[in-house]
Structure 1
Amino acid sequence: MPVLRRRPRSLTADVVQALSDRVRDGRLASGSKLPTEADLMAEFGVSRTVVREAMSKLQAAGVVETRHGVGTFVVGNEEGSVFRIREDQRSTLQDVIAVLELRIGVECESAALAAMRRTPENLQALRSALDAFSAAVDAGRDAVGADFQLHLEIARATQNPHFEKLMSTLGGTMIPRARLQSSEPVSAERQGYLRRVNTEHES
């Protein structure tokens, strides 16, 4: 593939598109492991930051998932889900409120079940997601991927596969700021907000 030579925001979108195309046409099958960060950097001729932002977008969209200490894997074809909240269904304030109502309903119940059923392995995965969130904020990124991973791990901790499936299907729609994410460093004010979000997660 030709080396990409455009501004960071466009580079991230190009990497996301290229990898999404591979998932869609089967070159990256469900369950397969993605190349390492170093391999993707070399293939696309981009920085580590661009690769990480692309992974965050794919993760938030429910296309891939990161398994701590193992790697990043394809969840499934991004067009294969039965239920999906489309972009045009999130365009108005009423649409956003509707999505947030769904999120609150799902997350409150999944958090309650996870608190009762979580295993030591679940706790370790949750700790890793929280640490990844904190590291992303400290590095000046918007932590969308880590945020989504945390909510996905909570769903897994319910021991009810339907919660995990629903969360994976909803993807980035559960993290409203995913629509605003870019490769640009977040502002100091934004960092403060994200640190407060992570503190709430910790509690």
Structure 2
Amino acid sequence: MSPTNGNNRRLNPPRSYASKVADILRDEIQRGVFRPGERLPTEVVLGETFGVSRAVIREAIFALKQDGIVESYQGRGIFVAQSLPEATFRLARAELNDSDEIDRVFEFLLAHEAAAAALAAERRNEADLSRIRMALEAIDHAIERGENGIEQDMAFHSEILAATKNHLFVSFGAFLENRVRHLIREARANSSRKGLTQYVQEEHRAIYAAIADGDKEAARNAAETHLANAAARLRVYSAVTPVPAR
């Protein structure tokens, strides 16, 4: 069966071309446009359809193979897998020049981190507080050494997730970290260039203070402020001046 909309699916920046092609083909396979066992169009045809190079098509097909959605056979082509895997959660790596996708990523992060901070405030014990405080101090030390503190920043948020006493928050947090580390790194770089590092640490301290006080709502609000400002530091939101830490 031919892809939907024929040749009207040419791609535009800024997202990765290969990611876009893979997403479109994945969606069409899931909707039955291409059925299990059916051969996909050749690389040449797909390249012409999407207006991209064969190298981009190969990268997209490789991603689909990694997900178990298609299978390749030497000399025969690429086929939709006979048994499709169950749908799994996916989060593509957002490109720094894709403001809409970064906006969506930070909205998602905000919900996750805010809920975790609230639970941590409710469930933390003294050992948790000690680890969170040590992680916070490690960021200060990294800044004093002239480093960006990205690893220490990640550790701070990881300790908060651990304090939720919910392994799903911890596991999903690790999943998210692998896909947004480059965004956090750029946000911290922007903070350093603009002299906003102290604001970032004030936000972290506000989160810690609320968790230490056992104040769920204050912890949630502080985490929301931090993520909203992180997005602003990537110029996702229109805010120019960081919101004061609560």
Query: TM-score normalized by structure 1?
Result: 0.51
Query: Which residue in 2 is equivalent to 1:121?
Result: 127
1:120 CA drift (Å): 1.0
Deviation digits for residues 55-103 of structure 1 (CA, Å, limit 9, x no counterpart): xxxxxxxxxxxxxxxxxxxxxxxxxxx7553335665001100110011
2:136 aligned with 1:130: yes
Aligned to 2:205: 202
Q: Where do 1:1-40 residues align within 5 Å?
A: none
SS at match of 1:192: coil
2:94–2:102 Cα contact (<8 Å) kept: no
Counterpart residue number, 1:143 = 149
Q: 1:199: how far off? A: 1.4
Gaps of 5+ in 1: 1-81
> Amino acid of the residue matched to residue 205 of structure 2?
E
The structure-2 alpha-carbon separation of the partners of 1:135 and 1:187, relative to structure 1 and needing over 3 Å to count, comes to farther
Give runs of aligned pairs for residues 154-169 of structure 1, distance below 5 A. 154-169=160-175
Q: In the alignment, which of 158, 181, 204 is matched to residue 152 of structure 1? A: 158
Mapped partners of 2:197, 2:114: distance in 1: 20
* Structure 2 Cα separation of the partners of residues 188 and 97 of structure 1: 18
- Residue number in structure 1 paired with 2:37: none
Contact in 2 for aligned 1:83/1:169 (Cα 8 Å): no
Which whole-Å CA distance do the structure 2 matches of 1:124 and 1:191 have between them?
31
Q: 1:37-71 deviations in whole A, cap 9, x for unaligned?
A: xxxxxxxxxxxxxxxxxxxxxxxxxxxxxxxxxxx
CA contact (8 A) 1:152 1:164 kept: yes
Q: Which residue of 2 aligns with 1:178?
A: 185
Q: Distance in 1 between matches of 2:190 and 2:119?
A: 36
Q: Would the alpha carbon gap of residues 135 and 92 (structure 1) be closer, same or farther in structure 2, given more than 3 Å must change? A: same
Q: Is the 8 A contact 2:93 2:180 kept in 1?
A: no
In structure 2, give the amino acid aligned to 1:153: E
Unaligned runs of 5+ in 2: 1-87, 207-246
Indicate the structure (1 or 2) with the bigger Cα radius of gyration: 2
Residues 93-119 of structure 1 deviation map (CA, whole Å, 9 limit, x = unaligned): 011001100111001111000001001
Query: Residue 115 and residue 199 in structure 1: after superposition, are their counterparts in 2 closer, same or farther (change >3 A)?
Result: same
> Which residue identity is paired with 2:123?
R
- Residue 190 of structure 1 deviates from its aligned partner by 3.4
Equivalent in 89, 93, 97 of residue 103 of structure 2: 97
Within 2, Cα distance between the matches of 1:112 and 1:160?
Answer: 12
RCO higher in 1 or 2 (8 Å CA, sep ≥ 6)? 1
TM-score, normalized by length of structure 2?
0.43
Q: Distance in 2 between matches of 1:188 and 1:120?
A: 31
Match among 112, 118, 134 for residue 112 of structure 1? 118
CA contact (8 A) 1:84 1:170 kept: no
